[in-house]
Each structure stands twice: as C-alpha cells, then as structure tokens.
Structure 1
Amino acid sequence: MEKQLVKGASRNPKRTHAAILEAATDEFAAHGFGGARVDAIAARAKTNKRMLYHYFGDKEALYLAVLEATYASIRTAEKSLDLTHRDPEEGMRELALFTWNYFLKHPEFLSLLATENMHQARYLKRSDKIAAMHSHFIGELSDVLKRGEATGIFRPAIDPVSVYLTIAALGFFYLSNRHTLSTIFGRDLTASAAVKAWGEHIVSVTLASIKA
C-alpha cells in the first residue's frame, strides 16, 4: 500500500505537496506543534511519512512551511484591496474590515499565531521569507497614511505598524476570548449582529486614532 501511495504521489508532486501542507495546517492548528503528529498529517493528506519527509524534511521544517504559507495567504489576499490606489480613508476602512473578516473566516490563522507565540516565535525567526512579506505590506500602509496626511485627513507621522497592531489586536482579542466574555457579560458575542457590530467598531476606533 505504501509503495502505491508513493508511486501515485510522484506522478503529481504539486498536488501531493499542497495536500501535505493543507493537512499539516489543520493538524498544527488543532493540536499545536507539540500535539501534532506526523502520522496524522500523512493520513489526512492520504500519503505516507516517507513522502512527507521527502517534501519537507522533518516536522519542524513542515511547521515552518505552514507558518510561511499562512502568512503568505493573508498578505496575498490583502493585495486585492489595492490600497495604493484607494482614497486614504476608504482604504483604511477596507483594511480594518478585511482583517476582521479574514480572522473570522480563517480561525486556523489565529490558532497558529497563538501556538507560535507560545514558542516565542522560535520557528518563525528561522524564516527568510516573512520579513519581505511584511515589509511590502507595511510599505503600502505607510503610503496610505502619508497620502492621508498630505490631504489633511490624517495626523502627521503616524506609525503604520502601530495602526496595524490596533486593527489586529481588536479582532484577535475579541475572537480569542468571545466565549469567556460572552459568559462573563451575559451577552452572545458569537451572534452575527454582535460580530458585524464589532467590525464597525474596529473601523471607528482605527479611524479615530489616526484622523487629524
């Protein structure tokens, strides 16, 4: 059976690579780095450990590949906003809503971030791709803020990293704690109306923090 899987996988290496990466993303998101099992990843991908090691080397390298692919996905999706050609205020609103909605649609992203933060970014620090991804994004955000400053809409000398941290923090905290906070305050923060309202709140807070 194993030989058949290896032979079949070799016929379509791109598909096998993608299947392993997708399976690993699910496994690491669900169980963290320590709890994830290579056997389980191989089973999810309908391949075997030999193929997994062939494509990714070992568990640590596979985990790093998952992290890089996860960040690449959100950075790639953000490009559709075309911030460079948008009105500054509209661009900031769309970025805030995009980030919130991306978090909602990709809980695995938040799970992987939580896992890597527990490791103090031990594996992410090994990446030679992450810095370039985020440098481009921060450059676009900086351009939007500077154009807004030039027209008198935004305050001068706004730090783009701080702006993004504001957006991400408001979304991440809400989603990471929505069940406990719902219980504490007796309010269903998972309800669609509450979720939509929080998205608009993120927009309001973000714009209020940068407007002149």
Structure 2
Amino acid sequence: MRRSVSVDEDGKVRQAKRDPEGVRRDILSAAMEEFSLNGLSGGRIDEIAARTRTSKRMIYYYFGDKEGLYERVLEEAYAKVRGGESDLGLDALAPVAALTKLCRFTFDHHRANPAFIRMVMIENIHHGRHLLHSEAIRGLNRPAIEALESVLRRGQAEGVFRAGVEALELHWQISALSFFNVSNVATFSAIFGDSLFTADGQEQLSRHVAEMVLRYVLSPGHVDFIAQAAG
C-alpha cells in the first residue's frame, strides 16, 4: 500500500498520510477483482476494504455507495482498453497494417484481461443499466468507432478496402471474435479440449482473427495484402 513513514526528532516512527489518488486506485483495483468474480450483488465492500487496508466509510466517501463504486470500476475497465487503442498510432500506419494491429490488440487485450470480460458479462446480466447511466463510458467508446471509420475511409480511398463496410458492424465483429475466446473458455475447453488455449493456440487464433477480418474488408484483387500483414 502507498503509506510512507518518517522518523521524528525523538526517534518515533510516524505514519504519513496516504496519497488520496493512490487510495482510489487501490480501491478500484480491488473492486475490479471482487466484482468480476462475484458480481454486483455478490461483491462485498468489506472484502474490498480488507484488501486495501482501508474502511468502508472511506470507500463510500470516495464513491458514494456500492453501485457508484461498481459503475466507476466499469468506467476504469473501458478506459483501459480504449486508452490502449488510442496508443496504437493507427493514423500513422497504412490501412491494412492499422486494421491488423487493431484486431491483434483487441484479441490480446481481452485474453490478458479476463476480469474486463467478466465485468462486461455481469453488466449484460443487468441489461446495461449502469452503462446507460455513465456518460463517461459513452464518451470513451465513441472514439473507438471514429478511429475505425478513419482506417476504413483511408483504405477505401486507396482502393484497398471494399465499399459498404460499416465501422460499427466491424467493431462488433472484432469484439465478438475476441470476446468469445475468453467468455467461453471453460465450456469450450470442457467439450473440445484446451488445445486452442495453449500459448501456441492463442497466437494462432490471434493471427487468424486478424486474417478473417481482413478477408471480409479487402477489396477483390487485394487478398495478397493478408500475407504482407502477417509478415
């Protein structure tokens, strides 16, 4: 935890005040783990307080109530994935390279962040009620579609991507392929074995998701771009 110590003139150790922003980050991190494992109704504020060595009173001071904390955790989860997308520098890449990089990032992010997937699944159980209340989340997600629209426009202007592909639908397709890989790992493995979920299997799936998306988007005569993207 973020607690520093100092020694006074009498040689007594004194605890310095904890950094408020550090406390907030610690609470959000613990709350992500708690809510992603147990849901909103099953998540316990007492457990979050214990993990962060703070108090329920302090948690409520920062976040209002349990639902306020849950909503803030959702915002942080979406901010992380959207922040990662914005760091990809897609505008500086050729359209095929940009779309490939976005597909690989989405697949690999979801794979590395199963708590995010569980939070999205839990929010769907709640019919998206907390997402609808969060203007911050809507603001975070709009740029994701705008960035994809920009990649598609550049690819279409160069004749590399076919006309008629909609950014929102393409975002859905990329998300669906990447989401299923995490959300259904337990049931899929139980039925078919776990060969797709080894390190090699996941790397192959990540490449093939990008290839599937490119095959859908590329204009006729530009399929050779897939091999270039893979290389």
TM-score range, shorter chain: over 0.9
Alignment TM-score, normalising by the size of structure 2 = 0.85
Q: Report the CA distance between 1:165 and its aligned residue.
A: 1.1
Cα 1:36/1:190, change in 2 over 3 Å: same
**Aligned-partner residue type, residue 170 of structure 2:** V
- Structure 2 residue aligned with 1:93: 100
User: Would the aligned equivalents of 1:179 and 1:189 in 2 still touch at CA under 8 Å?
Assistant: no
- Structure 1 residue aligned with 2:66: 59
Q: Report the CA distance between 1:61 and its aligned residue.
A: 0.4
State how far apart, in whole Å, the 1-side matches of 2:99 and 2:204 are. Answer: 17
- Structure 2 residue aligned with 1:190: 197
User: Would the aligned equivalents of 1:9 and 1:16 in 2 still touch at CA under 8 Å?
Assistant: no
Give the structure with the higher percent helix.
1
- Structure 1 residue aligned with 2:208: 201
Query: How far does the alpha carbon of each residue in 1:70-91 deviate from its partner, in whole angstroms, 9 at most, with x for none?
Result: 1001101111111122100000
State how far apart, in whole Å, the 1-side matches of 2:133 and 2:193 are. Answer: 43
Q: Secondary structure at the match of 1:195?
A: helix
State how far apart, in whole Å, the 1-side matches of 2:102 and 2:152 are. Answer: 12
Is residue 135 from structure 1 mapped to residue 142 from structure 2 by the alignment? yes
- Structure 1 residue aligned with 2:172: 165
State how far apart, in whole Å, the 1-side matches of 2:52 and 2:131 are. Answer: 24
Is residue 71 from structure 1 mapped to residue 54 from structure 2 by the alignment? no
Q: Report the CA distance between 1:187 and its aligned residue.
A: 5.1
Is residue 83 from structure 1 mapped to residue 81 from structure 2 by the alignment? no
- Structure 1 residue aligned with 2:153: 146
- Structure 2 residue aligned with 1:3: none
Query: How far does the alpha carbon of each residue in 1:153-208 deviate from its partner, in whole angstroms, 9 at most, with x for none?
Result: 10113211111111111111122222322332345222111111111110111101
Gaps of 5+ in 1: 1-7
**Aligned-partner residue type, residue 51 of structure 2:** R
Structure exhibiting the larger radius of gyration computed from Cα positions: 2
State how far apart, in whole Å, the 1-side matches of 2:73 and 2:122 are. Answer: 12
User: Would the aligned equivalents of 1:148 and 1:154 in 2 still touch at CA under 8 Å?
Assistant: yes
Q: Secondary structure at the match of 1:189?
A: helix
State how far apart, in whole Å, the 2-side matches of 1:192 and 1:80 are. Answer: 25
State how far apart, in whole Å, the 2-side matches of 1:119 and 1:142 are. Answer: 30
Alignment TM-score, normalising by the size of structure 1 = 0.92
Please identify, of 118-127 and 9-18, the stretch whose mean Cα deviation from structure 2 is larger: 9-18
State how far apart, in whole Å, the 2-side matches of 1:26 and 1:93 are. Answer: 31
Please identify, of 172-181 and 157-166, the stretch whose mean Cα deviation from structure 2 is larger: 172-181
User: Would the aligned equivalents of 1:170 and 1:202 in 2 still touch at CA under 8 Å?
Assistant: yes
- Structure 1 residue aligned with 2:35: 28
- Structure 2 residue aligned with 1:155: 162
**Percent sequence identity over matched residues?**
38
Is residue 50 from structure 1 mapped to residue 57 from structure 2 by the alignment? yes
Of 105, 128, 131, the match for 1:124 = 131
User: Would the aligned equivalents of 1:141 and 1:160 in 2 still touch at CA under 8 Å?
Assistant: yes
- Structure 2 residue aligned with 1:115: 122
User: Would the aligned equivalents of 2:196 and 2:205 in 1 still touch at CA under 8 Å?
Assistant: no
